[in-house]
Amino acid sequence: MAEFGVNTPARQAAFLAQVGHESGGFAYTREVWGPTPAQSHYEGRTDLGNTHAGDGYAYRGRGLIQITGRANYVACGDALGIDCVTTPGLLEQPAFAAQSAAWYWDEHGLNELADVGNFDTITRRVNGGRNGEADRRRRWALAKQALGVV
């Protein structure tokens, strides 16, 4: 977290709440694949950079924040100095799972949103919607209490 500026209790509480939800309570570093209807739509999504056959599955959510899509894997790999396009499973390894989450957080301006308590916008930027909102808010309240965020 320190590497990417997640360095205040408010930022840390919001970060921990989001990655706690996205990773199923820190149990998963790879998206559980059904495929669900939403996952089926990953294939061919050019907004995610999924332009090759099989990209939807290959670049499914990984890491604590569930980096998704070829384009995000390229950007994340470039930032972290790893080749997670050729070897997507790198983002499942503990160090890269955490580092990729903090990179994504910083890259999408979430520290600044955490500073002003804009948790709804953070959730939309992490998830693309409001999936799991109640769980995210519960985790945020617990993290704020633990870290002394008023």
Catalytically active residues are 22, 31, 72
- Closest of 28, 11, 118, 97 to residue 88, by C-alpha: 97
Q: What's the distance, Cα to Cα, between the start and end of the chain in Å?
A: 21
CA angle 88, 94, 98 (to 5 degrees): 90
In Å, the largest CA–CA distance within the chain is 48
Check whether the bond before 9 is cis (ω within 30° of 0).
Answer: no
Q: Which helix (H) or strand (E) holds 127?
A: helix 119-127
CA dist 50 and 27 (Å) reads 26
Nearest to 100 by CA among 70, 118, 125, 75: 75
